[in-house]
Amino acid sequence: MSKPSNRDKILKAGMTVVLERGYMGASVRDIVQAAGVPQGSFTNHFTSKEAFAIEVLDLYYAESAEIVARSLKNPDLAPLERIRAYIRENKERLQREGVRNGCLYGNLSAEAVDHSELIRLRLAEIFAGAQDAVEDCLKAAVADGSAPADLDTARTAAFCVSALQGAILLAKVKRDTVPVDQFEQILFSSVLRG
Amino acid sequence: MSKPSNRDKILKAGMTVVLERGYMGASVRDIVQAAGVPQGSFTNHFTSKEAFAIEVLDLYYAESAEIVARSLKNPDLAPLERIRAYIRENKERLQREGVRNGCLYGNLSAEAVDHSELIRLRLAEIFAGAQDAVEDCLKAAVADGSAPADLDTARTAAFCVSALQGAILLAKVKRDTVPVDQFEQILFSSVLRG
């Protein structure tokens, strides 16, 4: 394997710094220190903090794509079990970080979308992609009879994405993943039972 | 009416600045400029930005209490209609601000709870209070037969609080309140129908 470039180091360490301290709370100095590279490296590789944040989002997205592949897009699971696996993967990610940090998408939604239209549009696109992946599961569940025939799959998918973000946000406040469990219970015991 | 003190001016203008720019994004300079007071006033009245943020939360809470009085605690409305009114009041607040800013509670949850244990605990307390007010409505709805007798009122109330936060977060990203409508529709057409 080739040595990671300063650019890669900045992105990888920077993602953690932005998750822990937020977009506005993470200074360029914090980021280069965490990456162990000279301060000048940042401006060599990124035209602005906004451009850096977009690339951090892309890196987080690439990591999240592995979660999606194991859950929402996992053909070995029944359609509704894919959604359950997705919620549990998100919960486990929170637990690995001591139920701190939360979700980078949610954090930037709260903090950065009024500062940067680029970030806002990228987040809207990412959430739309998640919604589509959930909706594919719901359509498959309707087709195989495991979800009600009259389920509004688009609305329910949008709801799943936003309610999961809310559950992650409350988990962060409580330092406890119980809000994610409560969302899962209500989704499966009520919303998806029709 | 007496003239507002510099302290009151800082809190009132500061609440708007924190809503618009975030906790880390709002500098003391931004806050005193918005308040039209000398820079030194801030440190005269607040021992730290954290202490200021706690008082901003109290001010936002006082304003939100009016919404709660008109909705969740409104004896002139049927129990479930109180919850519907609460969701709609939140939606209207978003609309008045061009679906920017979002909810101060959600924003600080995403951004500030890993910086300040005081803020985290205050937010946990505020969300617990909202959950209790929603649960009172749900218990009254179970009692008068407008909600299912076997409804888990504590879990459903916690879910309402977190799902509403998620809907507000997605509304902010989309600059559109449709996620709040979708949450309301699913809550009333499914979760509360049993």
pLDDT in tens, A38-97: 999 999 999 999 999 999 999 999 999 999 999 999 999 999 999 999 999 999 999 999
Interchain contact A68–B (C-beta under 8 A): no
| Nearest neighbour of A173 by CB, restricted to B124, B185, B194 | B124
pTM for the whole thing?
0.96
B8: buried, middle or exposed (CB in 10 Å: 19+, 13-18, 0-12)?
middle
Q: What's residue A13's pLDDT? A: 97
Q: Chain A: give the shortest CA distance to residue B75, in Å.
A: 28
Interchain contact A25–B (C-beta under 8 A): yes
The pLDDT tens digits for B163-188 are 999 999 999 999 999 999 999 999 99
Contact: A24, B22; criterion CB under 8 Å: yes
Per this entry, what is the length of chain B? 194
Interchain contact A150–B (C-beta under 8 A): no
Q: Answer left, alpha or beta for residue A154, where phi above 0 means left and psi between -120 and 50 means alpha.
A: alpha
Interchain contact A74–B (C-beta under 8 A): no
| Residue A2, pLDDT above cutoff 90 | no
CB-CB neighbors (< 8 A) of A109 in chain B: 110, 169-170, 172-173
CB-CB neighbors (< 8 A) of A178 in chain B: 158
Mean pLDDT computed over every residue of chain B: 96
Contact: A162, B179; criterion CB under 8 Å: yes
Going by the DSSP 8-state scheme, the letter that residue A92 receives in this structure is: H
**What band does A1 get if pLDDT is binned at 50, 70 and 90?**
low
Helix (H) or strand (E) holding A42: helix A40-45
Contact: A155, B186; criterion CB under 8 Å: yes
> Are B160 and B83 a contacting pair, CB within 8 Å?
yes
Pick from A1-5, B60-64, B98-102, B171-175: least confident: A1-5
Q: What is the rounded average pLDDT of the residues A137-155?
A: 97
**What band does B194 get if pLDDT is binned at 50, 70 and 90?**
low
Q: What's residue A194's pLDDT? A: 66
Give a three-class secondary structure readout of chain B: CCCCCHHHHHHHHHHHHHHHHCCCCCCHHHHHHHHCCCCHHHHHHCCCHHHHHHHHHHHHHHHHHHHHHHCCCCCCCCHHHHHHHHHHHHHHHHHHCCCCCCCHHHHHHHHCCCCCHHHHHHHHHHHHHHHHHHHHHHHHHHHCCCCCCCCCHHHHHHHHHHHHHHHHHHHHHHCCCHHHHHHHHHHHHHHCCC
| Nearest neighbour of B109 by CB, restricted to A101, A169, A190 | A169
CB-CB neighbors (< 8 A) of A123 in chain B: 173
Contact: B169, A174; criterion CB under 8 Å: no
Percentage, residues of chain B above pLDDT 70: 99
Interchain contact B111–A (C-beta under 8 A): yes
The pLDDT tens digits for B131-153 are 999 999 999 999 999 999 999 99
Q: Which of A49, A117, A119, A165 to mutate to test the interface with B (most CBs of B within 10 A)?
A: A165
| Nearest neighbour of A110 by CB, restricted to B107, B175, B182 | B107
